[in-house]
């Protein structure tokens, strides 16, 4: 998880400890603003902060505005940019402009909504907070906004409401701790995925080969079932062994995983399709498999193959 992605949890913890709290959210950017829309900062009534809305250049002023919002119980919509003389005073002189919404917890952002949001995030449910203009009632939604959820894109709706998207963290389940996985694991983490390995063969799934990584030594179908197969999970099968790959595949094809990739040649994949067809899987279910795995970039080395797999997974996530 991004180190700045636990702001709702921190806000709830601080409120539970008896502190007054406000949540600041980047709602719009232009130019070279350093933090994306949806980025958040938590401010307590005693001036403590966690998170970031600008990489440091406007936080000081946002904190002052948040302290006032905490006192009067009213939201704030702040704007900083180089065209505004006040922006230079708070340090935003890099050519970017941002708008920041400040919502005190309780008077504006209800405590029960924040509690429900944190619970949904813990359960890996996708949810969004809809904030109407001004101090209208905030609400938590789980349906709609399909494009926003797919693109991880918070933003304004036509009615002026701001939608803050809260997606579960991305995961990549990798079956087979082979040489390609040794390159794929660090690449996946850099791209924002939490990589998890399933490998029943001790010689492959050793801590020496994957220091500090989560490695389940279960049989693949049991491993992926234990880890969970939801709509924010990619499954990559690298063992090249039907005895290991097929059980995991059968779990995944009737799940909500957004990407399934399986290593092997065109001939290997054709045999895989025959086995799955014989096992009762439909043509549409089998079509979820990306095999041979990865974008066709002419990859030759393990690192290049890993790169092609990661690129294909991101393409499917963002473009469908």
Q: For CATH 3.40.50.720, list the domain ranges present in the chain.
A: 170-319
- Specify the pLDDT at position 84: 47
Q: Which residues contact 71 (CB under 8 A, 6 or more apart)?
A: none
Task: Give pLDDT tens digits for 20-49.
Answer: 999 999 999 876 666 789 999 999 999 999
CATH class of 170-319: alpha beta
Average pLDDT over residues 138-143: 95
The full length of the chain comes to: 320
- Specify the pLDDT at position 60: 87
76: which 2 tokens?
């704030």
- Specify the pLDDT at position 32: 62
Q: Which residues contact 123 (CB under 8 A, 6 or more apart)?
A: none
**Mean pLDDT computed over every residue of the chain:** 90
Say whether pLDDT at 232 is over 50: yes
% residues pLDDT > 70 (the chain): 92
Which comes out higher in pLDDT, residue 36 or 281? 281
Report the distance separating Cα 53 and Cα 56, nearest Å.
Answer: 7
Ramachandran angles phi, psi of 141, nearest 5° = -125, 150
The pTM assigned to this predicted structure is 0.78
Say whether pLDDT at 239 is over 80: yes
86 falls in which pLDDT band (50, 70, 90)? very low
Task: Give pLDDT tens digits for 169-226.
Answer: 899 999 999 999 999 999 999 999 999 999 999 899 998 999 999 899 999 999 999 9
């Amino acid at each position: 998880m991004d180190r700045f992605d636990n702001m709702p949890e921190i806000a709830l913890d601080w409120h539970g400890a008896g502190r007054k709290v406000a949540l600041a959210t980047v709602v719009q950017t232009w130019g070279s603003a350093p933090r994306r829309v949806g980025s958040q900062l938590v401010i307590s009534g005693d001036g403590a902060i966690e998170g970031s809305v600008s990489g440091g250049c406007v936080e000081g002023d946002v904190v002052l505005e948040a302290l006032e919002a905490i006192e009067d119980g009213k939201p704030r919509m702040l704007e900083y940019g180089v065209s505004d003389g006040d922006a230079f005073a708070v340090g935003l002189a890099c050519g970017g402009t941002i708008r920041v919404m400040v919502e005190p917890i309780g008077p504006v952002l209800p405590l029960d909504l924040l509690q429900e949001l944190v619970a949904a995030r813990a359960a890996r449910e996708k949810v969004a907070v809809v904030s109407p203009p001004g101090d209208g009632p905030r609400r938590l939604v789980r349906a709609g906004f399909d494009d926003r959820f797919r693109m991880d894109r918070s933003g304004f709706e036509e009615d002026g409401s701001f939608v803050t998207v809260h997606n579960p963290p991305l995961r990549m389940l990798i079956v087979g701790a082979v040489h390609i996985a040794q390159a794929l694991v660090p690449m996946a983490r850099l791209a924002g995925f939490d990589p998890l390995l399933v490998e029943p063969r001790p010689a492959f799934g050793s801590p020496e080969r994957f220091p500090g990584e989560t490695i389940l030594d279960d049989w693949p179908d049991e491993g992926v079932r234990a880890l969970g197969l939801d709509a924010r999970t990619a499954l990559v099968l690298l063992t090249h062994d039907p005895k290991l790959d097929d059980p995991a595949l059968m779990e995944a094809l009737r799940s909500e995983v957004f990407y399934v990739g399986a290593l092997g040649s065109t001939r290997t994949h054709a045999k895989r399709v025959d086995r799955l067809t014989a096992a009762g899987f439909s043509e549409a279910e089998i079509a979820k498999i990306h095999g041979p795995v990865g974008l066709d970039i002419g990859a030759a080395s393990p690192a290049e193959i890993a790169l092609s797999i990661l690129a294909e997974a991101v393409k499917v996530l963002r473009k469908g």
